[in-house]
Amino acid sequence: MYDTTHGEAFPDDELRRLLKLLVRTGGLLEPHDYGGLRVSLSEVFALGELADSGTLSQGELATRLSLEKSTVSRLAAGMERRGWLSRERDPANRRFYRLRLTPDGWTAAERVGADLRTTHAALFEGLTADERAGLTLGLTGLARALQGRDHVGRGRVPPHLPGDVS
């Protein structure tokens, strides 16, 4: 027989409850349609970083997304298959790939970005001014608290999170 009496394996606190609620109600674990495109959350963030920066090495993208280099390599390969990015050897150091959005990648980034702007505006419309201020303050504090903490299998959270004033 199996022992079915267990202690609390996971924390039973407000942070876990709220994060679980956000992830589940936001459907963040599954790809979504953004601007008519089926896109994973990793692809959304990668499109945003590349649209903001123009060109990044795979290592730079890994750091910005706080993902393992091998994960970003697979992510980039998938986005390349979709025709969204080009991977070219860095002429200054042939060991590295430089990533940049293709014209189709820019179109995808613009469609996803427009969808996110519309979604964010609708979400913020449902909040009072005090709730928006509280959300900004709370998420900024949470991001600050997470900065620099070691995460198992993840390395360090990048120091350029929104609200970073250091």
**pLDDT tens sequence across 122-133:** 999 999 999 999
* Three-state secondary structure readout of 125-163: HCCCHHHHHHHHHHHHHHHHHHCCCEECCCEECCCCCCC
CATH among 3.40.30.10, 3.90.226.10, 1.10.10.10, 1.10.150.80 for 32-150: 1.10.10.10
Alpha helices in 29-102 (DSSP H): 41-53, 58-65, 69-81
What does the pLDDT look like over 55-81, one tens digit per residue? 999 999 999 998 998 999 999 999 999
Give the start-to-end residue ranges of the domains of the chain.
Answer: 32-150
Whether the model clears a pTM of 0.85, i.e. scores above it, the answer is no
